[in-house]
């Protein structure tokens, strides 16, 4: 392998580590590269959409095929603190509003306790204001949408820790 090819490969590996990419495959004719990175203990690697990073990738010469680094320990599944949360989803397409009118207090905020059937937001669709009710009782953990944002059918609006 030429020194320039080794330099390009090192840059690629550093780039993938920087963005915490767990796996990378490249197949160009006779050039085949497959890299897998083991997650450090106690931390979970997040996968990054390489199409988003493609513009920032260093140029590759034509390095020779490289064997994947050995995986030293099995990957442990990450513990998700949001596991088990109930997700309130939009029943319609429209525009999200978190309060009954501009300048008014929001229907709910993270940390608020909600009851099943309580109005949590309004979705405007075809000039009609549709009140969206919580389909579970509990505490609002997170709001996924910002005021005035267009939303789709089935799009997550809130997460609720059920009580």
**Residue 116: predicted pLDDT:** 94
**Residue 3: predicted pLDDT:** 78
**Residue 157: predicted pLDDT:** 94
In the chain, the domains with their CATH numbers are: 3-56 (no CATH), 86-162 (2.40.50.100)
**Residue 82: predicted pLDDT:** 62
**Residue 56: predicted pLDDT:** 52
Contact 16/7 with Cβ under 8 angstroms? no
C-beta atoms surrounding 108 within 10 Å: 22
**Mean pLDDT, 10 residues at a time, over the chain (163 residues)?**
76 80 76 72 47 52 57 57 82 94 92 95 93 94 92 93 88
The contacts of residue 143 (CB under 8 Å, 6+ apart) are: 98, 108, 109, 110, 157, 158
- pTM of the prediction? 0.50
C-beta atoms surrounding 21 within 10 Å: 20
Sign of CA dihedral 76, 10, 29, 65: negative
């Amino acid at each position: 392998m030429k020194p320039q090819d080794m330099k390009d490969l090192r840059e690629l590996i550093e780039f993938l580590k920087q963005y915490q990419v767990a796996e990378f495959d490249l197949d160009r004719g006779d050039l085949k590269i497959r890299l897998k990175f083991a997650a450090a203990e106690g931390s979970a690697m997040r996968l990054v959409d390489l199409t988003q990073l493609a513009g920032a990738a260093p140029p590759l010469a034509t390095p020779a095929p490289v064997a994947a680094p050995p995986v030293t320990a099995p990957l442990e599944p990450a513990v998700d603190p949001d596991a088990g949360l109930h997700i309130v989803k939009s029943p319609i397409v429209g525009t999200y509003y978190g309060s009954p009118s501009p300048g008014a207090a929001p229907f709910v905020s993270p940390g608020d306790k909600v009851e099943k059937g309580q109005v949590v937001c309004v979705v405007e669709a075809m000039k009609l204001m549709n009140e969206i009710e919580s389909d579970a009782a509990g505490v609002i953990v997170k709001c996924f949408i910002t005021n005035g944002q267009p939303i789709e059918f089935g799009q997550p609006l809130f997460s609720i820790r059920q009580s």
